[in-house]
Amino acid sequence: MLFSNIIGQEFIKKHLTTSADRGRVAHANLFVGSSGSGVLPMAVAYAQYIICGNANGENNGGASSCNIKFDHLSHPDLHFAYPVATTEDVKKHPVSSHFSREWRSFFEENPHANLYEWHQHLGIEKKQGQIGVDEAQEIVKSLSLKAYEGGFKVMIIWMADKMHNAASNKLLKLIEEPPNKTIFILIAENEDQIIDTIKSRCQVLHFPRLGEAAIQEALVNNKDCDSVFAKKIAHQSHGDYNLALHLLKQDGE
């Protein structure tokens, strides 16, 4: 994930890459913002920047083999946790690793998609996905292993505000004192639902809504949208690129 492909958020890009270049990587981070503001692609790009040893503000200066692994979220030192629930194939104790193939396709289709769309992708829209105690145990287990390439490991917890309190309490000590070269990136839409003992241990970054010009440019470049029409959609989307994509699709239909 190239930072140049992330829509807007130039200040946050600069802050993260500059901090990493100076060796000031926080071991626990909390990215707060709507899905349409680009929190997930930014987290993946930042993880890539750290793990692959990239520099100068972009993800193309480090080990090429490492960067290639990020093209399909297949790097073994990149870990994810996200809300899940039982399905026809996973009838009990659902954890994120059971749905890694679905997660990759979800991200590739639209990294700005929201939680309800993730539930739709899994076919669990009538259920309440959560990050439970079983997931917390899996996180502890996976991060106890050595890094595959001997460098950093990054755990991205998407929609961490949907984490069960018991899971939060189980992860508290790990987030407070993670193994060497282990980085947590928690992503949340509502930081008030993150327990204070975890939030106080994180470097918190708030993602503002995207500017209309940034959304307009993205629609023109990524979706081959007419500039005038892209400007209209950008205005209607209220800074949410995911909403802009939905508006564009509705118009096409």
Q: pLDDT (tens digit, 9 = 90+) per residue, 77-88?
A: 999 999 999 998
CB 53 within 8 A of CB 130: no
Cα–Cα distance, 99 to 222 (Å, whole number): 28
Please, which pLDDT band fits residue 175 given cuts at 50, 70 and 90?
A: very high
Which tens digits make up the pLDDT trace of 221-248? 999 999 999 999 999 999 999 999 999 9
Beta strand pairing status for 153-157 and 203-206? unpaired
pLDDT exceeds 70 at position 252: no
Beta strand pairing status for 182-188 and 203-206? unpaired
- Cβ count within 10 A of residue 121: 17
Comparing CA positions, the residue from 212, 213, 217 lying closest to residue 239 is 212
Sign of CA dihedral 135, 139, 141, 147: positive
Which tens digits make up the pLDDT trace of 193-222? 999 999 999 999 999 999 999 999 999 999
Cα–Cα distance, 13 to 42 (Å, whole number): 8
Which tens digits make up the pLDDT trace of 35-51? 999 999 999 999 999 99
Cα–Cα distance, 29 to 31 (Å, whole number): 6
Please, which pLDDT band fits residue 61 given cuts at 50, 70 and 90?
A: confident
pLDDT exceeds 60 at position 124: yes
CB 238 within 8 A of CB 209: yes
Taking the complete model, does pTM exceed 0.85, yes or no? yes
Q: Which tokens in the block code for residue 109?
A: 């289709």
Rounded mean pLDDT of 21-37?
95
pLDDT at residue number 253: 53
Q: In sequence order, which ranges of 95-253 are alpha helices (DSSP H)?
A: 100-109, 115-122, 133-143, 165-176, 196-199, 212-223, 227-236, 241-252
Rounded mean pLDDT of 112-120?
96
